[in-house]
Structure 1
Amino acid sequence: MELIFLGTGAGVPSKGRNVTAIALTMLNERNSIWLFDCGEATQHQILRSSIRLSKLEKIFITHLHGDHIFGLPGLLSSRSFQGGDTALTVYGPMGIANYIRTSLVVSGTHLKYPLEIVEIDGEVVFEDADFKVICRELDHGILSYGYRIEEADKPGALDAAGLSALGVKPGPIFKELKEGKTITLENGIVVDGSQFIGPAKKGRIISIFGDTRATESELVIANQADVIVHEATFGLEMGDMAGEYMHSTTVEAANLAKKAEAKRLIITHISSRYSREDNSELVSECREIFPNTEIATDFAIFEL
């Protein structure tokens, strides 16, 4: 699983940062890619990455400001031309369906794949046997969500050495024991598979935030996450402006990660007032509070 940052700027693109789009690649887990937000020129950014639109399964939109959605109609259209024929689902706040459908109708765009649009109504956005996505409303003046992606726990490893000592040979029996079944061997020994399975491997938790001011509701999304992706539009010295424009500072993102007892923080959505040379200062402000902090740049890849 990897996070690929396709755009890490705020509001308007700059020479060094495009506007927001983050890909979560899950090729080993489900042979697909999820996209979080789709700012203008996201499809151009994808051309410079390893991402294939045909693998795109779901798009989660945090809110309807232009720097998070203006790339969506073009990307949906291009997916048809690039061989995408599997179903795609877009999740987002109320109004996302009207925006997408109007854009496609007015431009005369016909998609060659099934498109489902889900306007969020409730805390659980998506759930299957492997992943659960929940959301919580943030504080940005417009309806803006944070998403928490919870991976299901994986069964523990089978104690093959212990079974071999009992005379159990690898094969179909191992599969049954891995499922926790009890079997009787030819020599009469009864083997309880659950006794030969190690502790479950805890699933990963990824928290991805839309634009927001610091708010207590963020803790629900961030609690004990393996990684938090949070906006840090402004540095410490711009706290008043951050509050006025309903954004977060570096230290607010870091304080959230610390309070949430998260393992890792990645800051993004950096104002165009900051150049690449300012990155070290911005990340240092976070590390004063939460040491395991990194700053995202366009095309940066973080392995999870």
Structure 2
Amino acid sequence: MQLTFLGTSAGRPTRTRNVTSIALSLPEPQCGFWLFDVGEGTQHRMLGSRFKLNKLERIFVTHLHGDHIYGLPGLLSSRGYFEGAGPLTIYGPSGLRRYLAGIFELTGVHLGYELNVVEIAEGEVVADDRYVVEAAELQHRLPCFGYRITERPQPGPLNLKRLGELGVPAGPLYGKLKRGEDITLECGRSIAASDVAGTPQPGRVVTILGDTRPCDNAVRLAMNADLLVHEATFAGGLEEKAAAYGHSTFTQAAEIARDAGAKRLVVTHFSSRYDDEAVAELANGVKDIFAEIEPAVEMTDILIPRPPLTNS
């Protein structure tokens, strides 16, 4: 599992930064990716990268400000040209369906694949056998959501030596045991998955917040997260200006991470007044509040490692 920032600028693009979009790459067996926001130019950022639109599985929109969604119609249209592009679900605030329907009607777009638009409320928005995604409303000038992605615990490694002693043939039965299913051999012998698998591995938690002032829901969504992505539009000391625009400072982002007990903080959504050197200095300047802070760098992967395995 890893994050790639396809845009880190607030409000408008700059010569070195695109507007907001984040890709979350999923591990096996999916090997696909999700997008969080699709600012203008997002699909251009993908050109020449490993990201192929037929591997895009879900899109999560935080809010309807243009720097977070103006790239969405073009990306959805282009996806139809990729062979094997299957159904796609987009999650976001009320009004998202109307926004897309209006553009598609006026421009005569035919996607060629099934598109589902889910206008969300607070609470659980996705739950499958690998992940749970929760949303909560933040404090911005438009309705805006943050997302908490929780990976379900994964089965531990199989004890291959024990499987050999029990006479379990390699193949589909290994897969069943790996998924936690008990099996019965042809001889009638029953084997419990718990007897041949290691300790289940805890899942990872990633929190990706939209634009926001500091608020209780930001802390709740980020509680004990392995990685928190929080906006840092302004430098510390500009809290009054940040509040007026519904944003946060580097100082406030560090305080949210600290209060939530997050393990790691990546800040993004930087005002165009700050160049890369200034952004690095601003992040270093709040390490006394939260040491594990780093600024997002576009097209750089941020790995989210699994916790160490503990074998039974």
Regarding TM over 0.5, the answer is yes
| 3-state SS, counterpart of residue 81 of structure 1 | coil
CA 1:130–1:182: 2 relative to 1, 3 Å: closer
Can you list the C-alpha shifts for 1:194-229, whole angstroms capped at 9, x where unaligned? 234322101111100000000011122101111001
Q: More deviation in 7-16 or 250-259? A: 250-259
| Residue type at the aligned position of 2:88 | L
Contact kept, 8 Å, 1:63 with 1:142, in 2: the verdict is: yes
| Residue type at the aligned position of 1:95 | G
In structure 1, the partner of 2:116 is 116
CA 1:75–1:169: 2 relative to 1, 3 Å: closer
In structure 2, the partner of 1:171 is 170
Contact kept, 8 Å, 2:121 with 2:135, in 1: the verdict is: no
CA 1:122–1:161: 2 relative to 1, 3 Å: same
In structure 1, the partner of 2:310 is none
**Residue 296 (1) aligns with residue 302 (2):** no
**Residue 69 (1) aligns with residue 69 (2):** yes
Q: Distance in 1 between matches of 2:271 and 2:79?
A: 30
Q: More deviation in 63-72 or 287-296? A: 287-296
* Alpha-carbon shift at residue 177 of structure 1 (Å): 5.3
In structure 2, the partner of 1:96 is 96
* Alpha-carbon shift at residue 158 of structure 1 (Å): 2.5
Q: Distance in 2 between matches of 1:231 and 1:132?
A: 23
* Alpha-carbon shift at residue 112 of structure 1 (Å): 0.9
| Residue type at the aligned position of 1:9 | S
| Residue type at the aligned position of 2:114 | P
Q: More deviation in 94-103 or 275-284? A: 275-284
| Residue type at the aligned position of 1:237 | G
Report how many aligned residue pairs link the two structures.
302
Can you list the C-alpha shifts for 1:74-123, whole angstroms capped at 9, x where unaligned? 11111112335311111110000000111111111111111111111341
Contact kept, 8 Å, 1:236 with 1:250, in 2: the verdict is: yes
Q: Distance in 2 between matches of 1:231 and 1:182?
A: 49
TM-score, scaled to structure 1: 0.92
In structure 2, the partner of 1:181 is 182
In structure 2, the partner of 1:211 is 211
In structure 1, the partner of 2:309 is none
TM-score, scaled to structure 2: 0.89
- Report the RMSD for the aligned CA atoms in angstroms: 2.2
Contact kept, 8 Å, 2:53 with 2:85, in 1: the verdict is: no
Contact kept, 8 Å, 1:207 with 1:227, in 2: the verdict is: yes
| 3-state SS, counterpart of residue 285 of structure 2 | helix
Q: Distance in 1 between matches of 2:286 and 2:33?
A: 29
* Alpha-carbon shift at residue 175 of structure 1 (Å): 5.5
Contact kept, 8 Å, 1:64 with 1:93, in 2: the verdict is: yes
Q: More deviation in 64-73 or 18-27? A: 18-27
* Alpha-carbon shift at residue 243 of structure 1 (Å): 1.3
In structure 1, the partner of 2:141 is 141
> Percent identity among equivalent residues?
43
In structure 2, the partner of 1:39 is 39
| Residue type at the aligned position of 1:181 | D
Task: Give unmatched runs, 5+ long, in structure 1.
Answer: none
Q: Distance in 2 between matches of 1:84 and 1:243?
A: 45
In structure 2, the partner of 1:229 is 229
* Alpha-carbon shift at residue 180 of structure 1 (Å): 5.8
